[in-house]
Amino acid sequence: MPLRIILVGPPGVGKGTQAALVEEALGTKQLSSGVVFRSEIEAETDLGQLAKSYIERGELVPNGVTIQMMVKRLRTDEVRKKGFILDGFPRTVRQAEALTEELAKEGITLDGVLSLEVDDGVVVERLSGRLGCTKCGEIYHSVNKPPSREGYCDKCNSPLIVREDDKPETIRERLRVFHENTKPVIDYYESLGLLKRIDASRDPQDVFSEIKLKLGAI
């Protein structure tokens, strides 16, 4: 049976890194909400155009549009065959409840939700050195994962930048929003008996080792 899990945690906790490790080890399809958004916008689909209109106005993309984008991807043959590991979605209880409803309609059972947990101070330290590719979205870190050539992406050779939302004052605000909006998502999945907590303050490989143990329990 294909594995179907969700990764939840604050920005900078390493969700993308762990999702990629799970995908490599198990073949489970990594679905990052950011990547799905970008692909829909670049493909100029109806949903992508709608999301773009909100983004260009500096507004949050509504829950309904976000849910439709993610569910569209979950319905693809590839994801049905390989399973999925959701990264960055759901972000709110409303999105989590809607996802539960949509999965039920598709006859898909969620295997578990992994909550990657770390102190806020560690998040600020990690994200302050983060660099993002302006084209493909690949993430680097000035200390922990520097690019081979300073200032340029290893994958597509495009320039790297420090995003506005990776500056310390912005990070603290993002953490405040996470605690306010996404912590209830953790409580929601705990109430369903699906939650497994992971100490994400350690080396990524150590975190991955614990994830494999927890997935073995699933």
Determine which one of 29, 91, 126, 196 is catalytic: 91
- For residue 49, the tally of other CB atoms under 10 A from its CB is 12
Active-site residue, 130 included = yes
Among 163, 202, 212, 214, which one carries the catalytic annotation? Answer: 163
Q: Is 91 a catalytic residue?
A: yes
CB–CB of 139/16 below 8 Å?
Answer: yes
* Partners of 199 in beta bridges: 117
Q: Tell the burial category of 193 from Cβ atoms under 10 Å away from its Cβ (0-12, 13-18, 19+).
A: exposed
- Active site includes 80? no
Catalytic residue among 15, 29, 73, 82: 15
Q: 93-106 vs 183-191: helix axis angle to the nearest 10?
A: 40
The catalytically annotated residue of 4, 29, 126, 130 is 130
Query: Is there a contact between 118 and 16 (Cβ–Cβ < 8 Å)?
Result: no
57 catalytic per annotation: no
Catalytic residues: 15, 91, 130, 163, 174
